[in-house]
Amino acid sequence: MSKTPYSPYNTTSASFRKKMLYWSGIFTVVLILIMRLLDQSLVAPGDEIPDGMVAFELTNNIHDARIMVDMWGEKGRLVAAFSLGIDYLFLISYSVFLGLIAFIIGKRLNGRSGLLSKPGYVLSWLMILAGVYDSIENFALIRILTGCQYSMWATTAYYFATIKFTIIFITLAYIVIGSIMIWLTRPSEKQPA
């Protein structure tokens, strides 16, 4: 039997993981809904500048970021600042939620598919890293919101957001593929004679 790789969730009990999964899932969904609601007010007039926080996160240009912030106005800047504050809670909930799902899938695939079980453990760590990168990105965006003109902040937000979204995308893909593998390799039920 292969040795189980280490994960931040190895030492937790199944019942504790179930509670963490439940609560982090609820917080993730609630915070997504709140941020989507806030995001709707971050609309720039015209089509030349994209709308919303994700566009702000992925603007690798201080000039475009400043234009977005100026177009939002004072109310929009307050909404964006509040959204970034909420995002600090969100980064904890989604990184725990997705990391824990990846861990559980990796654990269930252990013994069935070594090739697919190990990435679950690695992704449980990478989701923590995604949360850290999200916090660095948020700090850079707050600096831009408060009027800082250094291009370094837009570049920092862009690269950390890009890496964060890449980790999240890979984790989501693993969750889908791993779930399919668990379903395909489940023990067949014996038919009654």
- Model confidence over 6-26: pLDDT tens digits? 788 888 888 999 999 999 999
User: What tokens appear for 152 in the block?
Assistant: 């370094």
User: Over 70: is that where the pLDDT of 162 sits?
Assistant: yes
154-170: average pLDDT: 96
Cα three-residue angle 162-166-170, rounded to 5 degrees: 175
Residue 156, helix vs strand vs coil: helix
Which pLDDT score, from 0 to 100, does residue 43 have? 72
- Model confidence over 80-101: pLDDT tens digits? 999 999 999 999 999 999 999 9
Which pLDDT score, from 0 to 100, does residue 1 have? 46
Q: In the chain, what is the straight-line distance between the N-terminal and C-terminal CA atoms, in Å?
A: 34
Distance CA 120, CA 5 (A): 9
The residues spanned by each domain of the chain are 14-183
Which pTM value belongs to this model? 0.87
